[in-house]
Chain A
Amino acid sequence: MPSDLACQDVSKRFGRFLAVDGVSFSVPGGSFFSILGPSGCGKTTLMRMIAGFEDPSGGDIRIDGRSVVDTPPNRRNVKMVFQHLALFPMMNVGENIAYGLRCRGMGREEIRRRVAAVLDRIGLPGVAEKQVHQLSGGQKQRIAIARCMVLEPDVLLLDEPLGALDLKLRERMKIELKLLQHQFNTTFLYITHDQSEALVMSDRVAVMNHGRFEQIGTPQDLYHAPATAFVAGFVGDTNRWDAAVVRTEGDRIAFATTSGDAMLGRWAEPSRHPAVGDRIAVFVRPEAIEVRRGAAGTVDGGEVNRLSGTVESILFNGAASRLLVRTAAGHIVEADLPQSGAAAGIAQGETVEVAWPAERARCFLAGAAAP
């Protein structure tokens, strides 16, 4: 499939501040692509360059194979759903959707037909005469998308459109957006700081930090094989400890945490090599940690980390409940709460053993860290 949108080494400089730093990526036609990053990482600037509201300081942007750097925003076939939707308050729903068609000089009757058709497709037939403020949050969302989709854009840009919705509605809209994207079969470029939105909806996700892409990949890649410390920390929940390298052996690392626990881990940054004494960051996902009642046994075979600790508190949240364990050396270890088996019903203050395989402890050189 041809790529609908491609960025080649795109940069943007505001005075001395480099907001976007040599970003390259391409989005295959018809796919859902997200850019995930904390606020201020440059993702909005990147989107505004694609829409044409900002001129890149360097690099090229191609849509449907043609460079659009010199095309004014109103001539680009890239439509955008704004953060607060930007529905025109002085027009009714039908006029909002018809606006772009009228700009193209389409006939009155044709416009009416297309507006009705797109309202049908988004499941809101007959709201054309309604005022924008009469709609619910979710309906407004769909109208904002319909207003763009009626113009049959090559790429639809979405700038954190779910940010303003309440939690329940946000969960529902995630699914709805994904369905709409399938239905229209248009390339979606979605910007968010919410990793769950990105993971749930996207075919591919780019994680952005400090103006650069840290990693591009499927949600599974990002979660299970983060390429950088930032991605490991930013995508999904995780324990993060600072440590120093004690010994290296292939991709096995022995290290000591700052509070003195000795552990084993796996080196996750193939492009760099650690040396003894290097400061590193270690990431372990809570679901990788096994909790058992009683004090820790001996280290068996050396491939599993075992530590004793006391239960500091229990964070109950249904299936996503967590246990905070303070180790003898003083670390806090966050683990999934066992809700069945021998460890079910653990109470605060109990002595427990926490254990995880060295394989699941990812080690990166300390430096760029998740916020």
Chain B
Amino acid sequence: MKTRDADRLALILLLTPFVMWIGLLIVLPHAGVVLLSLREKVAPRMFEYGLGNYIAFLKEPIYLNTLMRTAVMSLLVTALALLVAFPVAFYIAKVARARSRAALLLLCLVPLWVSDLVRAFGWIVLLRETGIVSSALQALGLAAGPVELLYNDATVVVGLVYTVVLFMIVPLVSTLDGMDDSLIEAGFNLGGSRLTVLRRIVVPYAMPGIVSGSIIVFMLTAGSYLTPVLLGGKTSMWFTEQIYDQFITRFNWESGAAFGVSLLVFTSLVVWIGLRLTGQQLATTVARR
């Protein structure tokens, strides 16, 4: 009996920090946000509970359009990140020698050593009308006058892909790393072309990595703030910007909270649809390498 009690105590001690972390930093704030989002202001310092904030959100086309825009662009970023990351991950996991592998992964990590803000300013310095790329194009005679590469959606997408691509590479490398090279060789040996081997063997094998990478990248992108705000143009609205505006410039925490919850629900829905379409389950993608 004594040992069982001791075991239980050890388990409780082990779990406590984890539960506290989850509880204090994840569950409690989210519960707070949900509660906040259900409060409607009726007069200064007077609130009633109701769905008014959500109704207001659904009634305003600007908010819905921004949410859809954010979702579509995030999906685009996810797809591009996958296209960019797959060959890189394949190279790191399957082609590069074991010794250079760590170095290559580290190299992918380098951009994360500087903050979001600095990275965004890096892009600004590069792409602005009087920036490095524009000047170089002019010096090479490829452009007649200054070229403005900043302030449009394409720049936002490029900047976001750059920011999130590592989060695609890492899960892909770890799944591909676990793949026996002989599977690929067997694929060729049995008569498959490069495309067949890629399509029927490598990609299906890497699917858990693809799905978990895509989930991470999609969530990160949809929730990113600085990059779309700083690189975006006159009409580049990002949904997080709306949330920020509600909270900070309009002091409307209730509505901001409703926006936040809506974003969470909507992105979760997109992920769920994605999982259904690819026939994956969250448990298998996260648990399996």
Contact = CB atoms under 8 A, between A and B. Distances in A.
A99 B180 contact: no
Interface stretch (B35-43, B149-157, B197-205): B197-205
Given A88-B201, A99-B200, A80 B186 contact: yes
B185 A151 contact: no
A89 B201 CA distance: 9
B189 A73 contact: yes
A53 interface: yes
Given A84-B180, A88-B183, A151 B204 contact: no
Given A84-B180, A89-B205, A90-B204, A103 B189 contact: no
Interface residues of B, number: 18
Contacts, number: 64
Interface string A33-59: 000000000000000000111000000
Contacts of B121: none
Interface in A261-307: none
B182 A83 contact: yes
A74 interface: yes
B205 A74 contact: no
Contacts of B229: none
B182 A74 contact: no
**Residue of B180, B190, B204, B205 with highest tally of chain A CB at under 10 A:** B190
Interface string B177-193: 00010110111111111
A106 B159 CA distance: 46
Interface residues of A, number: 25
Given A88-B201, A89-B205, A90-B207, A147 B190 contact: yes
Given A74-B192, A103-B193, A82 B207 contact: no
A201 interface: no
Interface in A329-351: none
A52 B182 CA distance: 13
A22 interface: no
A148 B187 CA distance: 11
A91 B188 CA distance: 16
Nearest to B201: A88
B189 A90 contact: no
A88 B183 CA distance: 7
B188 A82 contact: no
Contacts of A75: 191
A158 to B, nearest CB: 12
Nearest to A95: B200
B191 A104 contact: yes
A84 B182 contact: yes
B280 to A, nearest CB: 11
A147 B189 CA distance: 11
A128 to B, nearest CB: 17
Given A73-B188, A74-B189, A90 B182 contact: no
Contact of A86 (B185, B192, B193): B185
**Residue of B188, B189, B191, B201 with highest tally of chain A CB at under 10 A:** B189
A87 B198 CA distance: 16
A151 B192 CA distance: 12
A28 interface: no
A79 interface: yes
B196 interface: yes
A99 B190 CA distance: 7
A151 B191 contact: yes
A338 B269 CA distance: 78
A82 B182 contact: yes
Interface in A63-99: 72-75, 78-80, 82-84, 86, 88-91, 99
Contacts of B182: 82-84, 86
Nearest to B179: A89
Contact of B190 (A52, A72, A83, A148): A148
B16 to A, nearest CB: 37
Nearest to A76: B189
Interface of A: 51-53, 72-75, 78-80, 82-84, 86, 88-91, 99-100, 103-104, 147-148, 151
18 contacts: A52-B188, A53-B185, A72-B188, A74-B190, A74-B191, A74-B192, A75-B191, A82-B185, A84-B182, A86-B183, A88-B200, A89-B205, A90-B205, A99-B200, A100-B192, A103-B190, A103-B193, A148-B190
Top 6 A-B pairs, shortest CB-CB distance = A100-B190, A103-B191, A86-B186, A86-B182, A90-B204, A82-B182
Given A74-B192, A90-B205, 12 more contacts: A51-B185, A51-B189, A52-B189, A75-B191, A80-B189, A82-B185, A82-B186, A86-B185, A90-B201, A103-B191, A103-B192, A151-B190
